[in-house]
C-alpha cells in the first residue's frame, strides 16, 4: 500500500522501561502502536552483527515495518583528503551491507562540514564524493538501499534545503532526507508556518521533480537552537522550540505525498511518532 509511514529513530526510553532489551522485539512493539517504520541507528559506527540484523529484518517484514538505516555521523562528504574520502566510502559500504539483512531500503547520510573550505568548494567536493559512493555501491552490488542526503541543523555544515536539493538533483538514484527540525534551526525558526512548508515543497518539486518529492524521507523533532543553529533535540512536551508538525502534515496531505516520517525526539520518539501519525491521518480525512 502506497501511504505515508511513521516510526522512530532507534528505540524510545519506554521500550526498555517496559522490559524489552533486544531490537528484534522493536517491530512488534511498534506495530502494536500502529507505527509502520523504524530507522536503525549506526550513528557511532556499524556495530550490529548479521544474525541480529536478520532477526530484526524478519520481525520487521512480519509486522509490516519499513526499515531504514542511518549511516555513521562522522562521514564528511565535503572532504577532499584522499584518506578521508576512502573512509567515507568504507562507512557507506558497511552500512549498505548491514541494510541487506535488516531489509532497509533507505540509508540516511550526512553531508559534512564546511571547515576551512569555501562553500562552493565544499559543495563541489560533496558532489564528487557522492558520485564515488554511488559508483562503489554499484561495484559492490549494494544498490537496494537508496542513499538519502540529509538537511543539517548547524549553519556551518553543508545541508541547507537548497544544497541538498542541488545534490539530489544531480543523480536520480538519490533521495532527500528532509529534517524539518534541522531546517527550522538553521533558518532561525523559518520552518514554522504552512507557507514555509509550501516554499520548501515547491523548491523540491522544481529541482528534483514531483515524484521524488512525494516519497521523500523525512526526520522530525523539536530542536533547541541558537545563532549557530542546532543545540539539542527535545520532545513534543517541550513547546518553546518547534517546529510544529501540523503545517507539514497539512501540506503533505494536500499534495498527496507519501513520505516516510522518522521521529527523532529525545527519548519519546515512538510516542511522538504516534502523535505525528494521528495529526497526518486527520488531515487525510478532511
d(CA 19, CA 239): 29
**Residue 148: is its pLDDT beyond 80?**
yes
Arithmetic mean of pLDDT, 137-155? 97
pLDDT at 239 over 60: yes
In this structure, are strands 223-226 and 229-233 parallel, antiparallel, or unpaired? Answer: antiparallel
Measured distance CA(252)–CA(130) in Å, rounded: 28
Look at 223 and 43; give whichever has higher pLDDT: 223
Cell of 126: 560533496
The pLDDT of residue 172 is 96
pLDDT, position 2: 73
> Which cell is 238 given?
517541550
Q: Bridge-partner residues for 230, per DSSP?
A: 225
Cα-Cα-Cα-Cα dihedral sign, residues 145, 147, 153, 157: positive
Burial class (CB in 10 A: 0-12, 13-18, 19+), 195: exposed
Hey, what CATH class is 5-285 in?
Answer: alpha beta
Lowest mean pLDDT among 36-40, 113-117, 156-160, 178-182: 113-117
Task: Give how far Cα 147 sits from Cα of 17, 144, 195, 228, Å.
Answer: 33, 10, 28, 27
Name which of 96, 41, 32 is nearest 64 in CA terms: 32
pLDDT digits over 90-117, tens only? 999 999 999 999 999 999 999 988 888 9
End-to-end CA distance of the chain: 20
**What does the domain layout of the chain look like in residue ranges?**
5-285
Could you give the angle at the alpha carbon of 159 between the alpha carbons of 153 and 165, nearest 5°? 135
- Quick: pLDDT tens for 182-216: 999 999 999 999 999 999 999 999 999 999 999 99
- pLDDT-based confidence at residue 41 (cuts at 50, 70, 90): very high
Asked if the model's pLDDT at residue 174 lies above 90, the reply is: yes
d(CA 35, CA 47): 25
Amino acid at each position: 500500500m502506497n501511504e505515508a509511514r511513521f516510526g522512530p529513530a532507534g528505540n524510545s526510553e519506554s521500550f526498555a522501561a517496559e522490559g524489552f532489551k533486544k531490537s528484534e522485539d522493536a517491530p512488534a512493539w511498534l506495530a502494536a502502536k500502529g507505527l509502520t517504520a523504524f530507522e536503525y541507528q549506526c550513528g557511532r559506527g556499524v556495530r550490529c552483527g548479521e544474525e541480529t540484523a536478520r532477526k530484526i529484518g524478519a520481525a520487521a517484514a512480519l509486522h509490516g515495518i519499513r526499515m531504514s538505516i542511518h549511516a555513521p555521523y562522522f562521514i564528511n562528504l565535503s572532504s577532499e583528503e584522499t584518506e578521508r574520502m576512502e573512509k567515507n566510502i568504507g562507512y557507506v559500504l558497511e552500512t549498505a551491507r548491514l541494510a541487506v539483512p535488516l531489509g532497509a531500503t533507505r540509508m540516511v547520510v550526512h553531508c559534512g562540514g564546511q571547515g576551512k573550505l569555501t562553500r562552493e568548494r565544499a559543495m563541489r567536493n560533496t558532489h564528487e564524493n557522492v558520485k564515488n559512493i554511488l559508483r562503489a555501491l554499484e561495484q559492490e552490488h549494494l544498490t537496494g538501499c537508496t542513499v538519502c542526503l540529509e538537511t543539517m541543523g548547524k549553519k556551518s555544515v553543508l545541508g541547507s534545503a537548497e544544497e541538498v536539493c542541488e545534490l539530489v538533483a544531480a543523480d536520480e538514484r538519490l533521495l532527500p532526507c528532509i529534517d524539518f527540525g534541522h531546517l527550522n534551526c538553521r533558518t532561525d525558526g523559518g520552518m514554522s508556518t504552512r507557507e514555509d512548508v509550501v516554499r520548501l515543497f515547491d523548491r523540491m518539486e522544481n529541482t528534483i521533480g514531483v515524484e521524488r518529492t512525494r516519497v521523500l524521507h523525512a526526520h522530525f523533532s523539536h530542536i533547541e537552537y541558537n545563532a549557530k543553529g542546532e543545540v539539542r533535540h527535545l520532545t513534543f512536551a517541550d513547546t518553546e522550540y518547534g517546529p510544529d508538525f501540523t503545517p507539514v502534515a497539512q501540506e503533505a496531505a494536500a499534495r498527496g505525498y507519501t513520505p516516510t516520517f522518522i521521529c527523532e525526539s529525545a527519548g519519546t520518539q515512538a510516542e511522538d511518532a504516534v502523535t505525528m501519525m494521528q495529526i497526518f491521518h486527520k488531515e487525510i480525512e478532511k
